[in-house]
Amino acid sequence: MNFDRPIPIREIAQKINAEVIGDQEALAIGINEIHQVRPGDITFVDVKKYFEKSLSSLATFVILNERVVPPAGKTLLLCDEPFKAYDSLVLEHRPYHPLQVSISPLAEIHPSAIIEPNVVIGPYVKIGANSHIMANVTIAEYTQIGEEVIVQSGSVIGSEAFYFKRTPEGFQKWRSGGMVVLEDRVDIGPGCTICKGVSGETRIGTGTKLDGQVHIGHDVVVGKRCLFAAQVGIGGNTVVGDDVILYGQVGIAQNLSIGNGVVVQAKSGISKDLEAGKVYFGYPAQEARKAYQELAILRRLRDEKNEG
């Protein structure tokens, strides 16, 4: 998530009551959780076993709760509760805007776009030429929709990320500061849910088609010309390549990479990265030919046991 302008880190430190360890005049350009960080970003860590990951990340600024020596090129912000500090900064720069009308006056909708009755469109949404948003769709804040996109009835585009921090008091919700991008000629079937990024983008590539009741988690990136059948679910931060076909009820875990041209057959469960250009089946999924061979062997063993 980018700030509207670069901000001196000393100003950030004053707002979150933190001590600066490093260059107090350095400029922060944005704030991102660890999976999305870039040079110039602020991130946070409050569990010691993850310190090394955060301190060696691309982030220039790290909010943390233990004094350490900053690595070269890093500036640290020392405070008691890094998560609360991080979340307060996101809320400051991406505040909630509860809707008072069905279509926010801050939305930008191309004159040629078709918006059917009972559509809800949040602030800072952009909808491109010749797109068609059918009745009873919700398009949440900051979503960007390209040209010739179809979103069928009942779908929710840009819902809050399913992202919580475990605390002694229970699960604490993060403010989602990210967005959804639907590129040109994307089709979204009825009853789909596409979550916005925690701090970055959830993106659906040009020409990709989703059947009904598909769920796309936060920060997922889907390539071009993909085809997902009904009840597919993809966990957060997973990257799906171009020309991928997922048949019905395929489930993909978070933080994975699915190569170009992959085909996954129905009801399969994906728990690891998939190599490009292959067909997969099973739970957990493996190459389809191997999976079918193993099933044939099991059937033969069963039959031999019954005959014996």
- Which residues are CB-contacts of 23 (< 8 A; sequence separation ≥ 6)? 9, 75
- Residue closest to 200 by CA, chosen among 184, 169, 221: 221
Residue 25, burial from CB neighbour count under 10 angstroms (0-12, 13-18, 19+): exposed
Distance of CA 105 to the CA centre of its chain: 26
CB 258 within 8 A of CB 251: no
- DSSP bridge partners of 179: 201
Residue 107, burial from CB neighbour count under 10 angstroms (0-12, 13-18, 19+): middle
Distance of CA 301 to the CA centre of its chain: 44
Q: Indicate if 215 belongs to the active site.
A: no
Residue with the two structure tokens 């900064």: 89
* Backbone phi and psi for residue 301, each to the nearest 5 degrees, phi listed first: -65, -40
- Pair of tokens at residue 50: 């993850």
Catalytic residues: 218
